[in-house]
Amino acid sequence: MTTNSLRPPLLWAVEAARSKLAESISVLDLSKLGAFTDAFVVCSGSSARQVQAISDEIEERLARHRVRLQHSEGYDTAEWILLDFGGFVVHVFNERARLYYDLERLWRSAPRLTPEHAAGAGAER
């Protein structure tokens, strides 16, 4: 999986997270694993305010593109915010919760993209 192979909504979510300086962004491709969704976007923030800012930016950016948020959890505590967009789920963690839940290890059979430089074609700000 490459940055260029990401569907636009996933790329928009990654770009939104990057714009708020999210750390350790990764995209897990679950489409061939029989999971309840096609992909996870996983990232971290260094404080509760940053975790919320990342979440807000992702939600706002996708809403501008008419990608509807179906469900969210965890905003008030800002340890792990889950944003379910149906075809993919975004997980925004604080550093401690990300280490504890370690989704990348749990879904280690999923192809992974770590878009360190995910600003690619099709990205809109």
Q: What are the tens digits of pLDDT across the range 80-116?
A: 999 999 999 999 999 999 999 999 999 999 999 887 6
Task: Identify the CATH number of the domain defined by range 3-113.
Answer: 3.30.460.10
pLDDT of residue 115: 73
Question: What number of residues does the chain have?
Answer: 125
What three-state secondary structure class fits 19? helix
Q: How far apart are alpha carbons 19 and 11 in whole angstroms?
A: 12
Closest CA to 42 of 16, 14, 20: 14
pLDDT of residue 38: 94
The domain locations on the chain are: 3-113
This prediction's pTM: 0.88
Is residue 57 within 8 A of residue 17, CB to CB? The reply is: yes
pLDDT of residue 118: 43
Question: Does residue 79 carry a pLDDT above 60?
Answer: yes
Q: What are the structure tokens assigned to 87, written together?
A: 């075809």
